[in-house]
Structure 1
Amino acid sequence: MLTYWSIAAAAFRQYSTYRMATAAGVFTNSVFGLIRASILFAAIGTAGGELSGYTAAQAATYVWLGQALLAPIEAFGTREVSQRVHEGEVAIDLLRPTSFLGLYYAQKLGRAGFLLLGRGVPPLLIGALITGLALPEDPLSYPLGLLSLLLAITVAFLGDMLVNLAAFWLVETRGLTVVYNAVMNLLSGFLIPIVWFPDWLLVIARATPFPSMIQTPIDTLSGRLASCEALPLLAVQLGWVALLGLAAWAMLRAGVRSMEVQGG
């Protein structure tokens, strides 16, 4: 456990050195937050001041939490593992005295910790000053929200890992990554709340892990859902962690066997 903590701490320190990139990310997130907020305000205003349970204040909270959590959750994923597979460097990772998935998960947590503080909190403060935020009334929303955020980071990590591990069988994974990101972007609730979807699309979204990456932590942290309503959603997140974790483990084992057979 100490090894993984050291890996996470090293990832945190590594990303803390990219100060200009962090500042640029804060600026970009803030600008897009203002654009998204104005679009949602217009939609809610047209609907008469409320749309599917969202008021203007709740919509602002939804937008700014989404902008704040996008970087630490990294729902759009990375291509590091797939590149290491294609370059053969994954063999080094497999020889390390640590779990392959544990190694990259520790790096993910360290990276997420810095991105939450460096690129998540500033846009949230900017949003609070410009549009205001609807803060939770139930104090349990905060610890439940943090737990939901950790689970969201884990679900996003495992989903991204499945896409990257496909590199054991695919020569190029960019197409798969584009499709994955497009579907995630739509069904996660990042663009608009999933309760605004038509019924048939809402059913499809809830049958995927994507709302557990964005919509659930936002709803839990914002206090839009009461604690008793948030608990079942956290259970859904846990279920996806277990399912995707098992799938990633099985896919990694199959990929290693494939590499051995091919002489990689």
Structure 2
Amino acid sequence: MGVYWAIAVRSFRRFSTYRIATASGAFTNTVFGFILCGIYLTLWHERPNLGGYDVSDALTFVWLQQGLLMPVGIWGATTTGELGERVRSGEIAVDLYRPTHLLLWWLSVDLGRAMFQLLVRGGAPLLVGALVFDLKFPSTPLAWLAVVAGVFLAILVSFGIRYLVALSGFWITDTRGMEQLALVLSTFFSGMILPLVVFPGAIGDFARATPWAATMQVPIDIWLGRNPGGTGAALLFQLGWIVVLLLAAQLVTSVATRKVVIQGG
């Protein structure tokens, strides 16, 4: 495990070099946070307690959403984007020569990226939002521990989805179409447009059962203490999707790497 820890640490250091991009990204998230707060305040003024959220819940959702966007990689992440490009170009052959497991290698890289984004970029929008609005925060150490677990599991679920999308390049040669499809699905089903609790009827039930719900809606509801069935059920939901996705990722890795044919050679 020492080698994978070293990979994660180096990935963290790599992303820490992009200071201007990180600062500008945090500023952008903050601006969008204020825009969304204006929209949510209007919506919740017309429909108080929409989806079981009060105004404070809704505003807290906005700032957590903006803080988690990059750490979780809702709209994709550099690490898995690189993997898709390496599959397309044939450079994946170099990765397969390494004395490491392909899945664990890229998981370590992605965890290093996510930890940097969470510590540096994730907290800035939330801090600004807390200074302006009356946001809700966990009130006990156990609740904070559940939040940490929920965010970590959300990152793993997101990685599983993005890894499978990247490895689809072994069969379709260009993953950009799949990446765009994954972008649309993650935007709609994660809670980036609206909290999934406001989705009506069967649409809401289906949206809350997808793996994308485990990347954004579930960890935020853990923070708010509003998970149906309690925090334990929410964490089990995330764990269930992690098991499914990582088993699928291992299976796809094994099938894809039995025979590697590099395009053009």
Q: TM-score, normalised by structure 2?
A: 0.94
Instruction: Give unpaired runs (5+ residues) of structure 2.
Output: none
The Cα of 1:156 is off from its aligned counterpart by 0.2
Where 1:140 maps in the other structure, the secondary structure is helix
RMSD in angstroms over aligned alpha carbons? 1.8
Could you list the runs of 4 or more consecutive aligned residues of structure 1 that deviate by over 4 angstroms after TM superposition? Answer: 260-264
Structure 1 equivalent of residue 254 of structure 2: 253
Contact 1:138-1:223 within 8 A present in 2 as well: no
Contact 1:136-1:221 within 8 A present in 2 as well: yes
The Cα of 1:60 is off from its aligned counterpart by 0.9
The change in CA–CA distance for 1:202 and 1:2 in structure 2 (over 3 A counts) is same
Where 1:257 maps in the other structure, the secondary structure is coil
The Cα of 1:222 is off from its aligned counterpart by 2.9
Structure 2 equivalent of residue 12 of structure 1: 12
Between the aligned partners of 1:160 and 1:67, the Cα distance in structure 2 is 19
Of stretches 252-261 and 191-200 in structure 1, the one that deviates more from structure 2 is 252-261
Where 1:169 maps in the other structure, the secondary structure is helix
1:121 pairs with one of 100, 120, 123: 123
Contact 1:168-1:258 within 8 A present in 2 as well: no
Between the aligned partners of 2:237 and 2:264, the Cα distance in structure 1 is 40
Between the aligned partners of 2:132 and 2:111, the Cα distance in structure 1 is 30
Between the aligned partners of 1:222 and 1:98, the Cα distance in structure 2 is 39
Of stretches 205-214 and 121-130 in structure 1, the one that deviates more from structure 2 is 205-214
1:64-83 map, 5 Å: 64-78=63-77, 79-83=81-85
Instruction: Give unpaired runs (5+ residues) of structure 1.
Output: none
Between the aligned partners of 1:11 and 1:261, the Cα distance in structure 2 is 27
Q: Deviations over 1:19-53 (max 9, x none)?
A: 10011001100011111111111111011x32121
Q: Deviations over 1:33-91 (max 9, x none)?
A: 111111111111011x3212111111111110111111111122232111101111111
Where 1:134 maps in the other structure, the secondary structure is coil
The Cα of 1:263 is off from its aligned counterpart by 9.9
Contact 1:151-1:241 within 8 A present in 2 as well: yes
The change in CA–CA distance for 1:151 and 1:252 in structure 2 (over 3 A counts) is same
Structure 2 equivalent of residue 112 of structure 1: 114
1:146-165 map, 5 Å: 146-165=148-167
Contact 2:83-2:166 within 8 A present in 1 as well: yes
Q: TM-score, normalised by structure 1?
A: 0.94
Contact 1:165-1:252 within 8 A present in 2 as well: yes
Between the aligned partners of 1:66 and 1:172, the Cα distance in structure 2 is 30
Question: Is residue 31 of structure 2 the alignment partner of residue 35 of structure 1?
Answer: no
Structure 2 equivalent of residue 192 of structure 1: 194
Equivalent pairs: percent with the same residue? 42
Contact 1:141-1:222 within 8 A present in 2 as well: no
Where 1:224 maps in the other structure, the secondary structure is coil
Count how many residue pairs are aligned between Structure 1 and Structure 2: 262
Where 2:100 maps in the other structure, the secondary structure is coil
Between the aligned partners of 2:231 and 2:127, the Cα distance in structure 1 is 24
Contact 1:155-1:237 within 8 A present in 2 as well: yes
Structure 1 equivalent of residue 61 of structure 2: 62
Structure 2 equivalent of residue 87 of structure 1: 89
Where 2:50 maps in the other structure, the secondary structure is coil
Q: Deviations over 1:99-156 (max 9, x none)?
A: 1111111111111111011111111100001123112234322101100111100000
Between the aligned partners of 1:131 and 1:173, the Cα distance in structure 2 is 41
